Amino acid sequence: MFQILFITATLLCTALAVICVFLLMRTRKLQKCEPQAPVRQYLSPEMIADDDISVTGNLLCDNHQAICDSLMDYLEREKPYLNPNVKISDIADYLNTNKSYLSRIINSHFKKNFSQFINWYRIRDAMDTYMKNPNIDISTMAGLSGFQSMTTFNTAFTRYTGMTPGEWCKKYKNEMRNEMVNGEKKTRETAKGQFASTDGTF
């Protein structure tokens, strides 16, 4: 009797350990879709909620989850959304599924249609691109991110940041300028303090 209980307990512990490892790996993989930390602070509450949906959304079955994992990995690694002519059928072919099935997964998991989903990635990329090179103009920023239409870019950008591209770029530059001024001020104060300390030793 004791041996049966021991074997049962061992099997239960092993099963729990396997489940924990699986959930940990799945969570790490899903978190790949979160935007870079510098970008996230500029997102609107709606876009942050969209990011959270991408991590915590409930899928209908394991097959949905496998396709969703592959989709996010493909988008982060290959960035097909930078192609202004990308179609859902192109991505479905790459994932070895059909476009109707992929569309249902995007709708149920990310609460978006395909166009909104792709533009979500494009806006994040546009913001990241501008942060790396604040001297580019807005039309270049849009084009590099896969947008063919400035109207679509402006609409999507405003939805996801709460500001027009021009307003956001101005805000970002002002913040960077303030950081630079404060950094220079801190450097001068540190240097002044070190000089005073050295001068006092003579």
CATH of the domain at 53: 1.10.10.60
**Cβ-contact 21, 28 below 8 angstroms:** no
Residue 26 lies in a domain: no
**Cβ-contact 29, 73 below 8 angstroms:** yes
Confidence band of 50 (pLDDT split at 50, 70, 90): low
Residue 51 lies in a domain: yes
DSSP states of 99-168 as a string? Answer: HHHHHHHHHHHHSS-HHHHHHHHHHHHHHHHHHH-TTS-HHHHHHHTT-S-HHHHHHHHHHHHSS-HHHH
Residue 85 lies in a domain: yes
- pLDDT, residue 182, reads 76
Which residue, 41, 25, 106, 34, is CA-closest to 67?
106
Is a pLDDT exceeding 50 seen at residue 37? no
Tokens of 35: 């935007």
Condensed to tens digits (0 to 9), the pLDDT of residues 146-165 reads 999 999 999 999 999 999 99
Q: What is the average pLDDT score of the chain?
A: 77
Residue 170 lies in a domain: yes
- pLDDT, residue 29, reads 45
Q: Which domain holds residue 132?
A: 41-191
Which residue, 94, 97, 90, 33, is CA-closest to 63?
97
Condensed to tens digits (0 to 9), the pLDDT of residues 87-144 reads 999 999 999 999 999 999 999 888 899 999 999 999 999 999 999 999 999 999 999 9
4: left (phi over 0), alpha (psi -120 to 50) or beta: alpha
Residue 9 lies in a domain: no
Residue 118 lies in a domain: yes
Residue 33 lies in a domain: no
Residue 54 lies in a domain: yes
- pLDDT, residue 54, reads 47
- Rounded CA-CA distance 53/199 in Å is 59
For residue 44, the tally of other CB atoms under 10 A from its CB is 14
Give the total number of structural domains in the chain: 1
Is a pLDDT exceeding 80 seen at residue 31? no
Per-residue pLDDT, averaged over 62-66, amounts to 80
